[in-house]
Amino acid sequence: MGNLETTSLFLLVAILAPIFTGLVLLCGSRFSVNSMRALSVFGFGLPLVIGIMLYGLFDPSLAGEYNFELRLPTGLESIGIYLHLGLNGISMPLFLLAGMVGLAAGLYAMNSKAERLHLYLALLLFMLGGLMGTFASIDVFFFYFFHEFALIPTFLMIGIWGGAGRRVAAIEMTIYLTLGALLSLLGLIALYVQSGVDSFSLLELRNYLSAQALTETVQNNIFALLLFGFGILVSLFPFHSWAPKGYAVAPTGAAMLHAGVLKKFGLYGLLQIAAPLLPSGAEHWFSWIVWLALGNIILIGLVTMAQKDLKMMLGYSSVMHMGYAFLGIACFSVVGVGGALLMMVAHGLSVALLFMLSTCVYHRSQTFDLSSMGGLATKAPVLAGFFVAATMASIGLPGFGNFWGEFTIFVALAETDMTKWIVAPAAIGIVISAIYGLRAVSNIFFGQAKESFKERLESGQITDLQPFEKLPACILIGGLLLTGIFPRIISDDANRELAVLYPQEQSNLPIIESVILPAEADAPKEVTH
């Protein structure tokens, strides 16, 4: 198994490469811009390259186990903490997502005109390293540790490079997210203590708890901690207030990585840790999740419609779409959680793309106010094309991954009679999102320019998308199309894994007797001849 060990080391490299590159950049304020870029391309690109390579080497027969396992001592063995890395069918797509969004954000950031660029890139790289680590961790402690490691640079970046009102937003976001993280940490520690297995390894926790489940009360309480802790991190209604403003003022790179990837940490925690380990807790809180998620979809959806600022709108829309993922997890079935996973990946790509493109729009219009733009498509057709594609992806047009996510979640909801009614209110979201999405597109790009914008539009200063903007956009669009056209690249591995995590006693498919298939239907006629 020498091969296995080498590949496992790659996992470690994917985490450490961005962090070390970041450290080097941190020291090197005297680097020339070009050498800085070359260095950061390495740091941002390597994780994705490794991710793709590992995807190619992924062994699907190990469902229930982890691929590329690596276990290093940390000095905390006495309480069962190891640096235990590995990937399974659920974390693999998210690992790739982090690499992809990371590269796109990095490519965009290194060409931005941020002051103290080396510091900015270094912080982004730290964030990326943390993200890779989060999704590659089997050890629950490191899962949490890497998340915090990625979270702190976000606060710093908003505080230093944020837009107007950044201090208030950064403080609010910090307090809110720290609260969420603390609650979930409490939950994780409670899980560790209550299970009494003396190990933070998810595998051992899972094996132990599947043999002897915790009592119902304990499960309910721990699940509540995890649900609301993670829920705050994922902007579950009504704990979403940090998100729109936070994203609106965040510098683009940070917003891309946070909204695109880091936010998925909470969902990942719910579907990989909380729900499988605490099934009766999930059942107990089922109706809470459903109602709050519907709040996300419908109430926040309508709130999104009322936004006049492009970035606020995007922030709210990303809050809204999280509702679908929660609904998927609430189903507690392979289909539902699978849908949530697809949704997470596709949403991560599309929201990152939208945040990036909205900044591109801003560089041309000098405003985020939707009511004072218009007609940009004539001057920047490529930008318009990308923006329309990204909007279409986020409102769930088939051909992009988001559609499969939403669709699979709807299918999952209709599976049992208990959840069947939810499909209809949840599906209203597809109309709501079409309304605000197309309204924004139409206000920015189509029709006549508004008076205040006309002069700028005619001035000839407005250029179309530059190559450095195109490249990251192409990466993200490519990912969206790939998941939209070939959803099996995610679903096959995840399906095997989820079947282990969410075992189902019997199928809900109807058994239809007296079947006449077309081929058979013809047969009796021939007999009569």
Partner 1 sequence: MTPTQSLLVVIFAPLLSAVIIAFFCRQRHGLAAAISVTAAGAIFVFGLLAILATGTDVVHASSAWLHFGDFEVNKGFLFDDVAKTMLIMVAFVGFLIHIFSLGYMADDPARGRYFGGLSIFMFSMLGIVLADNLVMIFVFWELVGFSSYMLIGHYLNSDEAAAASKKAFIVNRIGDLGFLVGIVYAYWHFGTTNLSEMGGYVAGNPDLVKISIAALLMCGFIGKSAQFPLHVWLPDAMAGPTPVSALIHAATMVAAGVYFLIRIDFLFPQEVLTLIAWLGASVAVYAGFCAYGQNDIKKILAYSTLSQLGYMAAAFGLGFPGVALFHLITHAFFKALLFLSAGSVIHGCHHEQDIFKMGGLLKKMPITAITFLIGTLALCGVYGLSGFFSKDAILIAGGLSNTPIFYLLTLGAFMTAGYMGRLFWIAFLGQPKSEDASHAKESPLTMLVPLIVLAVLSVAGGWMGYWPDFLGGLIKDNLDHLHHMDHYDAMHKKVLIFGSAAWIVGLVVSFFFYGAGAKEDRLEKKAAPIYGFLRSRLWFDEVYNFYVEKIQQRFALLLNFIDVFVIKGIFVRGSAGIVGLVGMCSRSLHDGNLHTYVYWFLAGLILLWAVASGLL
Beta-carbon contacts of 325 under 8 Å, excluding residues fewer than 6 positions away, are 234, 267, 340, 343, 344, 347, 405, 409
Q: Minimum Å distance from CB 365 to partner 1?
A: 16
Window 30 to 49, contacts with partner 1 (CB under 8 A): none
What angle do the packed helices 2-27 and 33-57 form, to 10 degrees? 160
To 5 degrees, how large is the angle CA 338–CA 344–CA 348?
Answer: 155
Q: How far apart are CA 147 and CA 162, in angstroms?
A: 21
> Which residue intervals of 373-422 are DSSP H helices?
376-379, 381-394, 401-413
**What is the DSSP-derived secondary structure letter of residue 417?**
T
| From 334, 349, 353, 390, residue interacting with partner 1 (rule: CB under 8 A) | 334
Q: Is residue 408 involved in binding partner 1 (CB under 8 A)?
A: yes
Other C-beta atoms lying within 10 Å of the C-beta of residue 447: 12
Q: In angstroms, what CA-CA distances link 328 with 13, 201, 408, 424, 501?
A: 33, 26, 8, 14, 15
| From 193, 418, 508, 523, residue interacting with partner 1 (rule: CB under 8 A) | 508
Beta bridge partners of 244: none
Closer residue to partner 1 (CB): 218 or 434: 434
Task: Dig out the tokens for 362 from the structure.
Answer: 């801003």
Q: Is residue 482 involved in binding partner 1 (CB under 8 A)?
A: no
Q: Minimum Å distance from CB 485 to partner 1?
A: 9
Site string for partner 1, 58-97 (x = CB under 8 A): ----------------------------------------
Q: How far apart are CA 264 and CA 284, in angstroms?
A: 23
Q: What share of the chain is helix, strand, coil (3-state, %, to 5)?
A: 75, 5, 20
Window 166 to 205, contacts with partner 1 (CB under 8 A): 172, 175-176
- Per CB under 8 A, the segment of 183-191, 257-265, 285-293, 487-495 that binds partner 1 is 487-495
CA quadruple 293, 98, 493, 390: dihedral, nearest 10: 60
Q: Is residue 515 involved in binding partner 1 (CB under 8 A)?
A: yes
Q: Minimum Å distance from CB 53 to partner 1?
A: 25
| From 214, 257, 465, 494, residue interacting with partner 1 (rule: CB under 8 A) | 494
* Residue from 141, 1, 127, 136 nearest 55 by CA: 136
Closer residue to partner 1 (CB): 201 or 235: 235
- Per CB under 8 A, the segment of 74-82, 127-135, 276-284, 414-422 that binds partner 1 is 414-422
| From 32, 212, 514, 528, residue interacting with partner 1 (rule: CB under 8 A) | 514
With beta carbons less than 8 A apart as the criterion, state whether 361 and 257 touch: no
Q: Is residue 403 involved in binding partner 1 (CB under 8 A)?
A: yes
Task: Dig out the tokens for 172 from the structure.
Answer: 């609010």
What one-character-per-residue DSSP string does 445-499 give?
HSSSPPHHHHHHHHTT------HHHHHHHHHHHHHHHHHHH-THHHHHHHHHHHH
Closer residue to partner 1 (CB): 12 or 412: 412
Q: Is residue 495 involved in binding partner 1 (CB under 8 A)?
A: yes
| From 333, 358, 359, 394, residue interacting with partner 1 (rule: CB under 8 A) | 333
| From 56, 75, 196, 518, residue interacting with partner 1 (rule: CB under 8 A) | 518
Closer residue to partner 1 (CB): 460 or 524: 524
Window 257 to 296, contacts with partner 1 (CB under 8 A): none
Closer residue to partner 1 (CB): 41 or 382: 382
Site string for partner 1, 417-456 (x = CB under 8 A): ---x--xx--xx-xx--xx--xx--x--xxxx--------
Closer residue to partner 1 (CB): 24 or 477: 477
* Residue from 453, 446, 444, 248 nearest 355 by CA: 248
Q: How far apart are CA 267 and CA 410, in angstroms?
A: 18
Window 293 to 332, contacts with partner 1 (CB under 8 A): 299-300, 302-303, 305-307
- Per CB under 8 A, the segment of 42-50, 150-158, 273-281, 510-518 that binds partner 1 is 510-518
Other C-beta atoms lying within 10 Å of the C-beta of residue 187: 25
Q: Is residue 407 involved in binding partner 1 (CB under 8 A)?
A: yes
Closer residue to partner 1 (CB): 16 or 428: 428
Check whether the bond before 251 is cis (ω within 30° of 0).
no
| From 412, 475, 477, 480, residue interacting with partner 1 (rule: CB under 8 A) | 412
To 5 degrees, how large is the angle CA 304–CA 308–CA 314?
Answer: 45
Q: Is residue 512 involved in binding partner 1 (CB under 8 A)?
A: yes
- Per CB under 8 A, the segment of 23-31, 88-96, 146-154, 484-492 that binds partner 1 is 484-492
Q: Minimum Å distance from CB 403 to partner 1?
A: 7
Q: How far apart are CA 477 and CA 189, in angstroms?
A: 39
Q: Minimum Å distance from CB 84 to partner 1?
A: 28
Q: Minimum Å distance from CB 300 to partner 1?
A: 8
Q: How far apart are CA 81 and CA 73, in angstroms?
A: 8
Q: Is residue 462 involved in binding partner 1 (CB under 8 A)?
A: no
Site string for partner 1, 209-238 (x = CB under 8 A): -----------------------------x
Window 351 to 390, contacts with partner 1 (CB under 8 A): 375, 377-378, 381-382, 385, 388
